[in-house]
Structure 1
Amino acid sequence: MKARCVECGAAASLAAKPMRYACHCGGLLEVVHDFGDADAERLKDLFHRRLGERHTIGASGVWRYKELIAPELPDAFIVTRNEGNTGIYGPECVREFAGIRQLWLKAQSENPSGSFKDNGMTAAVSHGASLGYASFACTSTGNTSSSLSMYAATAGVPSLVLVPDEGISLNKVLQTLAYGAQVAAFPGTYDDGIRWLNENGEKNGCYVCNSVNPMRIEGQKSIVFELAQDLNWELPDWIVLPGGALSNASALGKGLRELFALGFIARLPRVAVVQAEGAGPFHRMVDASLSTLIPEPAPRTVASALNIGNPPSWRKALETLKLTAGVTTAVSDAEIMAAKACVDRSGIGCEPASAAAVAGLRKLVQGGVIHRDETAACILTGSLLKDTNAINSYHLGADYSEAPWRNGIRRVKLNEEFQVNLEE
């Protein structure tokens, strides 16, 4: 499997240990496919026939598109939970709230672990297994951890999850524990955890499953593949999604670029990336026309999945905006929770980070950036039950949040003295 650096263009291989996540120049890697003479109409027919499969790899909403995601990966290594296959909905109350002519909600919250991370995680864990890794690791504000621990449990291998000791949803940590991961809480932010894994993951024998992993991006491309197939290969004017680590924006752009180049779609939609005001370094960079991102040292938002001050995939996400004439915006916690209440009342439900997409769409429509007569799809990234404290706070005025280490989870310092022992 081949890759290239998104910054300097240098070639890299992902076909053997040690797994590479970045170029020698520090730039992130991107998988490069040789689709050759791929026939879009033939593949559309193949993908349509797989919709009726059960108990096969093709029944997965990710591996249905294997020819476009990881054609060289042997089927024997694929670890799947029939991820993808998520619903697409058009609730009238949410359309009216957003103020747009037509709106679809793509509910990635219906994935087996409850979030869009499953689309990328099945690809990452399967690739790691094909390279011979027997343990997997990530740092997480929540959804990545529960997804990784689920796939590791499915594969029968151990996993290590590092979580910040404040500002995350305890629901997600409990889900991660239930799947059997070894969880360690550390003082600091998501960015500190990424840094530690970049420096220490390989020496501890772990395949790192964060969004710095280019295979995560390949799996997450399937979200836009499935959305396009849902809509008979005619995408709306806009696709709107929340932005935390920006892996979803990166994957969306790569998927759109490939669909357009191969002739699956006749035009590119525009993309809007929505961040929280308390954790919006990417929006601030784009809004100020800066050439580089200035990290947010202390990100803070009710949408805990967006609590990321230094998103590792910002350069890839910026390419997505350039490709699609895209935009960014930032919304307040109050706007996020108002949008969440609307989505919840539609009978679909979502976690606060998902609602940021709907809040951002409404703000962009009200500001005239998106015209009321246009069409849009919002990506709902996580389920309603991912963060019940947000529901308590909004509806009951009660705050039941507790730091994970106060609930018996081991607290560690991410330094050279921290040792990984996945046999515990």
Structure 2
Amino acid sequence: MERLMQYVWQHRLWPVKDMFTVDGHRVHVIDPGCLNHDSGPDFFNAKIRIGDEMWAGDVEIHVRASDWHRHGHDGDKAYDSVILHVVSKDDAPVRRSDGNVIPQMKMSCSPSFNESYRRLVASAADDLPCHEEFKTIDNVRLYSWLDNLAYERLYNKSERINRYLSRFSGDWESTCYVTLARALGFGVNSEPFERLALSVPLRFVGKHSDSALSIEALLFGQSGLLDEVGDGDSYVELLKKEYDYLARKFSLERQPRLGWKMSRMRPANFPHRRIAFLAAMLFGGFRLMSRIVDAGNLAQAYKLFEVELVGYWASHYTFNGSLEAARSVALSRGSITVLIINVVVPLLYAYGLSLDDKSMTDRAVAMLQEMKPESNSVVAMFVGAGVKCDDAFTSQALIQLRREYCEARKCLYCRVGHRMLSRSVKA
């Protein structure tokens, strides 16, 4: 409720005729102030006329006036700058730490507003309750919002990359290695793949980059998947023997169960072949980050992941299980597209930001704009609501909207949700 009141205050959605302090002085808001996301009053630097007096300072919002005392604001000098206390229930007077009374105002909204908000967020995580709104919003407003969301998603991915970079003391190749591994989980197994890569440092792999068997042994051994295989497969026996040697050499700690998911999954998408693909990318030395930076266009980006598996994994999707139709190609075109979206583009964008190189960040965005949109349930949901999605830049925006706003029930911060609610608040 308090967040809803903050929203109404921030966007000036109150009925002006009801703007009076509890002791009868008219309130005129010149500037509602800036929303504070940290400790302290809710809004900084507001300008308000109360009666005939002009005030400049902060605004605090509570559901009940007594929350001022319950939260200890009456003894906190950080709240001495509050010039107006906005409440839903006026159940107590409030004072600053010096004892001076603070003007207090009840916020009165349309009875339908709360109901509109509750109805909107109640099903936002499972459905698209605002789907009719998409059909009425003008394209300039909608696609401006989607552009912002696409860049927001890129920044979020860049922040994850920067956390890796900090962990690896500025080593971009190690950062690229873990980013690639996480992306190979294709959502379902992203966390296990990330933990796997973090448990096998790139510097260890580099010492055996000339041996495909050693790299596969390191990855499969740390993945825990070898532990589930019985005797009788000569390749598996070689992996186990090599892993035992390398685990002692590098003092590797066996990982707890990584939580691999394989139910209702096509055999070609099992983590085994994805790990085999990662091993193939590591064989001969891992220089993917430098190759990403050198990739001048989308066609060159696709070539980065056009890998054929050899040996055991050219004809197997898991241990002791051969493919019905042997396929040596590691990844489909569609899967490579996903890797470009989740590996090449964000790494190129983050690297460009680190160098303040706009041409590089522009190249990353151009790749998204050149690719076809992703085909998934999220994109289909918005297309069904009338949103035109012609490229991966837009589909990434729609995924950001769904994941970070709809599913998080942040309808207040979505332009579409705001448009719906702003009509009902004064109804």
| TM class, shorter-length | under 0.3
TM-score by length of 2: 0.23
User: Which is richer in helix?
Assistant: 2
TM-score by length of 1: 0.23
Larger Cα Rg: Structure 1 or Structure 2?
2
